[in-house]
Amino acid sequence: MDTLDHLIGRLETLFEYVAIALLAIMMLIITMDAGGRYLFAAPVFGTHEFVEFYLMVGVVFLGIAQLQARRGHVAVSFVSRNFPRPVRRLLEAVFLAATLAAVTGIGWMAVEQVSTNIIRDRVIATPFPFSQVPMPVWPSWVLVAAGVILLWLRMALQLLRCLISGEVPDAETFEETDSAIH
């Protein structure tokens, strides 16, 4: 199980770096668009669509598994951190299983959208910035599918660890998270 955790962790790190690069590109292109619009009355055509359909999708979905690995999602822990460990373990397993079911559906639909958009050759009417090439829709769905599949793998591993070895966030983890928020 440690080998699988290591492999998933490396993929999460890779996805995180790609998401950071996409964020940097997003900042650059939005700055160029705003500068062009207000300084030269010539915005970068297609910026909004490119950011919306590619960059933002990549930033969100490629970073979501890493966030799950760090247990950085919003959690209401002010009550559950006081539960005994077996109760926290049960709740963790139930919540992971329920969320895993939902993520399975999302992943399935994302993969289906990739193939549908490739087969139908769907494009966004607006061309890529700095070009006349229309933007295909399928790459954004590849980003969604890749991020959700990696999230599914991380959550499945966490559920297995919870069920097999009893691994569950302990009360100190909740306190560290709470103190980081304040």
Q: Is residue 181 part of a domain?
A: no
- pLDDT score at 174: 47
Question: Rounded mean pLDDT of the chain?
Answer: 88
Residues 3-25 have a mean pLDDT of: 95
Give the CB-side neighbour count of residue 1, counting CA atoms within 13 A.
12
- Tens-digit pLDDT profile for residues 94-105: 999 999 999 999
Q: Is residue 104 part of a domain?
A: yes
Q: Is residue 175 part of a domain?
A: no
Strands of the chain, DSSP E: 123-127, 134-136
- Tens-digit pLDDT profile for residues 165-177: 887 766 555 455 4
Q: Is residue 163 part of a domain?
A: yes
- pLDDT score at 33: 94
Q: In 3-state terms, what secondary structure has residue 126?
A: strand
Q: Is residue 178 part of a domain?
A: no
Q: Is residue 13 part of a domain?
A: yes
Specify the number of domains making up the chain: 1
Q: Is residue 182 part of a domain?
A: no
Listed range (6-10, 72-76, 156-160) with the worst mean pLDDT? 72-76
Is 173 or 141 the better-scoring residue by pLDDT? 141
Q: Is residue 129 part of a domain?
A: yes
In terms of residue numbers, what domain contains 138? Answer: 1-169
Q: Enumerate residues 6+ apart whose C-beta is below 8 A from 87.
A: none
- pLDDT score at 167: 79
Local confidence band at 182 (pLDDT 50, 70, 90 cut-offs): very low
